[in-house]
Amino acid sequence: MFPFLQHIKKMTSSWSSQFFRKSFILILLIAFIPGLISGIGIYFIGVSKVEDELKELHKTQILQGVDNLNSQFDYLEMAVTHWAFTPRFNIQIIDFNYVQQFQETREISQTLFTLQGSHPLIEKIELFIDSPQQPIVFRPKYNVITDEQEYDYYQSFTTHRNITWPSLPQSANEKDIENLQPLILTHSILANSNDPFGSMIVTLDKEMVSQLLWTLTPYNQGVAFLLSENHEILAAVNSMEDDSLIRYLQGQLSEKRGEDTNGTFTLEFGEETYSVSYGKMNRINSEWTYISASPMSSITSPIVLISQIIIVVSLVGLIIALFMSWFASKRIYYPIAKLMKQLETDEKWSNNKDEDEFTLIERKYKQLSKESLSLQSRLSTHLPQLKNSFLLQLIQGYLYHYSEEELHERMENFGWDIDNHMFVVMDIQVLGLHEANVNMLNQDESIATSAVTKIIEDVAEHRFHQFNVLNFYDLSTGLLILYPREQENRKSLHEFAEKAMEVLNKVLQMQVTITISKPDDKVKRIPSLFEEVRQGKQYRNFENENQIIDLQQINPFSSSHQMHYPFEMEREILQAIRIGHIKETENLIKQFIEELMSKETKEINIQPAITQLFGSIQHEIIYSGIHPYELFNGKNMFEEVAKIREPDQMTKWLTKEVITPFIQSLEAKVNMKMKQLVEEVCSYLHSHYMEDISLDQCAEDAGTNPYTLSKAFKKIIGFNFIDYLTTIRIKKAKSLLLQTNMKISDIAEQVGYRHSYFNRIFKKHTGVPPSQFRKQHVANQSKTNRPM
């Protein structure tokens, strides 16, 4: 008898072995038949239900992927439109000489390099300018177009007004999906012009577009592609060996032209069943269609696998249980060994020989949960960027035509809880960047503002439940705060402002002005709140000190002051500029600002005075005959002076950026005139050295005064006037002494000297009298000619 039955008999001596076996079989049947029935029910009934649920989940996943794809393209279109409207790409660029004005060429290339790296979807940016002189294209470096086909290619983009997605001819082999042309987004230059003279051409990265398309398929299985209005393939991804499914679906969608714009259906293709979803994507000047086809096996495989495991376990368990009463105890574990042997054939589970089937199912479930969390994490990483993008559009007025209810709904869709909530806006303006001793910042406004934005985010995270921080990249940061209507929040706002000041003072060694708006409960009022704090901060004290301006407690806009302007000091500054004293001018500007600050304390009163001073200096520049546009390299100096908010920075900016270039330009003009004057006098001296010449006579003939001529001679030639004339005469006298037999008295008259004075001046310059100079030369010549 088998050892197991012997063991059972010993344990159940009161039972007959036949009754024990029958009872044992009955227990096994009662235990395993429900599991068998459940497995069959799950497999034949539950799988269908779960399949439908998974299809719906798949549809939801596709919609989320399409929303992400749409958001990326919307953001790209908005960014390209914003770039096309930048002042750098105005009507003047068509008349530039890009070879001579190389600085402008370099700045355009740098701008395109910056734009090219500003969005992950962008592979390259090109700027085409149909210049009357010669067509050019920046890629992003400057290139001249000489090929007619290349010119026709770029010229075709200028036929589109404003922003558009042009269609490009595809590869000769239409079946080759991998060789599809990349997506291109263009914007005409000049923006909003009826007669554009160029275009900005943005080429998208095919790899990045493919990664976005893969989000439309589960586990990267199946195909996903975009169709144009003409049902041409714009972009596609495919996990299969050939493109037949894509071509088939392309034909199916072409036949459905004019029918439902979106939907889902199943498709039998080859030996596989596919779940197909499609829909429309509205793009600027175009309407695209997205299509996603995923094999049903990749969607339902997890539940099918679990159902099959349940059925196999139930069947094997039942069969083994029937034999367990008749075979030895070692055989009772045969089903488990058999199941483990089957699981070992799966590559993913090949290293888990010590696990039972339930552990394997648990591990598989955890793996699926981990993948689900990963997908949710990817979506959540884009949410802050989308929220900030929405706020920027709202502040800049792009959403003005939306109603309060529509804006309310959009904010809730982005995750804000705004029911029974109030809005408050803060403007955080840092000062003293050019005084701060922070090597990391290197006096770079964009880096400094990014650091401020990060610090404000960290401080606000511990105090507010709902907030968003906007980086304005001009040493100022905007903060939108939402708090419940019934909550009294003014005290916590001031506490936050004081804490933010403390941290920014300590970390960045910079002073801070924080302006707090009045509360409001309307979404459409948010742009007005940002504008109010922007205007309100102009009423800060002009000294670099920490300040909090609460617009609810004070009304700065009602205050009025009589304007004070030190006209006498302005005249002194202009006089110092005229005589070219840069250091004295800098000291006078400091005194000018100190005089202003002694009478006025608010920025709104001091800023116009500085602007007026700059205007007076620019008037002096124009009066001198120098064009400000050339002097300042085309920069808008009034716009730059309006951004300066620190006394020392104002002094440095006026001295370095305005006065120094002007004085250097004036000196260059004066030096050129003096050089021409000296060259004319030198030419006259070489022709008339034998005459009675004086400094006064030459100055009078040249139309200047003796002092100016003497100073110019010394600066340009290196000798004064008399020494230069003497050098010419002595050189000529040496030539006559050595090459002629003329008397010394005749030579003296020949070079413009009296005989007695000639001997003294010649000896002074050569060390010997003229007669001795001639004898020494003759003696030396005789020695040279003597035979050896």
Q: Which strands, in side-by-side order, build the sheet including 421-431?
A: 466-471, 476-484, 421-431, 511-516, 547-550
Residue 695, preceding peptide bond in cis (omega within 30° of 0)? no
Q: Which of the pair, 423 or 176, is modelled with greater confidence?
A: 423
Half-sphere CA count of 58, side-chain side, radius 13 A: 30
Question: Is position 713 within any domain?
Answer: no
Percentage of the residues of the chain whose pLDDT score is greater than 90 = 1
Q: Determine which of 272-276, 528-532, 562-566 has the lowest per-residue pLDDT on average.
A: 562-566
Residues 6+ apart with CB under 8 A from 669: none
Question: Is position 290 within any domain?
Answer: yes
Question: Is position 626 within any domain?
Answer: no
**Lookup result for tokens 């979803």:** 277
The CATH number of the domain holding residue 553 is: 3.30.70.270
Same domain, yes or no: 80 and 183: yes
Question: Is position 200 within any domain?
Answer: yes
pLDDT digits (tens, 9 = 90+) for 726-753: 888 888 888 888 888 888 888 888 888 8
Domain end, chosen from 558, 584, 610, is at 558
Domain end, chosen from 558, 573, 604, is at 558
Q: Which of the pair, 124 or 383, is modelled with greater confidence?
A: 124
Instruction: Give the torsion through C-alpha atoms of 497, 499, 505, 506, to 10 deg.
Output: -170
Residues 6+ apart with CB under 8 A from 104: 93, 96, 98, 633, 634
CB 514 within 8 A of CB 427: yes
CB 478 within 8 A of CB 425: yes
pLDDT digits (tens, 9 = 90+) for 1-32: 445 445 444 444 333 334 344 445 565 666 65
Whole domain around residue 459: which residue ranges?
383-558
Same domain, yes or no: 283 and 138: yes
Same domain, yes or no: 279 and 146: yes
pLDDT digits (tens, 9 = 90+) for 435-494: 544 444 445 777 888 888 898 889 888 888 888 998 888 788 989 989 898 887 788 888
The CATH number of the domain holding residue 118 is: 3.30.450.20
CB 681 within 8 A of CB 709: yes
**Closest to 651 in 3D by CA, of 593, 603, 604:** 593
Question: Is position 734 within any domain?
Answer: no
Looking at residue 670, its pLDDT comes to 61
pLDDT digits (tens, 9 = 90+) for 601-650: 666 667 777 777 878 887 877 877 778 777 777 777 777 776 676 777 77
- Please report which helix (H) or strand (E) contains residue 399, including its range: none
| Residue 301 pLDDT grade (very low, low, confident, very high; cuts 50, 70, 90) | low
| Residue 197 pLDDT grade (very low, low, confident, very high; cuts 50, 70, 90) | confident
Burial zone of 439 (CB within 10 Å; 0-12 exposed, 13-18 middle, 19+ buried) = exposed
Q: Which of the pair, 25 or 525, is modelled with greater confidence?
A: 525
- Whether residue 427 is predicted with pLDDT greater than 80 in this model: the reply is yes
Looking at residue 5, its pLDDT comes to 46
Domain end, chosen from 527, 558, 589, is at 558
| Mean pLDDT value across the chain | 76
Same domain, yes or no: 271 and 407: no
Q: Give residue 247's identity as a one-letter amino acid code.
A: R
| Cα–Cα distance for residue pair 192/196, rounded to 1 Å | 8
CB 258 within 8 A of CB 278: no
Residue 534: Cβ within 10 Å count: 17
Looking at residue 424, its pLDDT comes to 92
Question: Is position 750 within any domain?
Answer: no
pLDDT digits (tens, 9 = 90+) for 572-598: 787 777 767 788 888 888 887 777 776
Question: Is position 294 within any domain?
Answer: yes
Percentage of the residues of the chain whose pLDDT score is greater than 70 = 74
pLDDT digits (tens, 9 = 90+) for 341-368: 554 555 454 445 555 555 664 665 576 5
| Residue 314 pLDDT grade (very low, low, confident, very high; cuts 50, 70, 90) | low
Same domain, yes or no: 414 and 276: no
Token pair for 204: 């998208």
State the distance between the two ends of the chain, measured CA to CA, in whole angstroms. Answer: 143
Domain count, the chain: 2
**Closest to 602 in 3D by CA, of 518, 537, 529, 516:** 537
**Lookup result for tokens 């591990």:** 363
Taking each continuous run of H as one helix and of E as one strand, the counts in the chain are 27, 16
- Whether residue 434 is predicted with pLDDT greater than 60 in this model: the reply is no
pTM for the structure as a whole:
0.38
Q: Give residue 35's identity as a one-letter amino acid code.
A: G
501-504: list long-range contacts, CB under 8 Å, 24+ apart: 501/546, 501/548, 503/455, 503/459, 504/428, 504/430, 504/452, 504/455
**Closest to 541 in 3D by CA, of 500, 565, 513, 518:** 513
Same domain, yes or no: 532 and 398: yes
Token pair for 17: 């072995």
- Whether residue 720 is predicted with pLDDT greater than 80 in this model: the reply is yes
Same domain, yes or no: 151 and 277: yes
Q: Which strands, in side-by-side order, build the sheet including 184-189?
A: 142-144, 136-138, 122-129, 198-204, 184-189, 163-164
Q: What is the mean pLDDT of residues 226-231?
A: 81
- Radius of gyration of the chain measured on its C-alpha atoms: 44
Looking at residue 376, its pLDDT comes to 66
**Lookup result for tokens 């293709």:** 269
Same domain, yes or no: 215 and 79: yes
Question: Is position 392 within any domain?
Answer: yes
What sign results for the dihedral spanned by CA atoms 20, 23, 29, 32?
Answer: negative
Residues 6+ apart with CB under 8 A from 572: 588
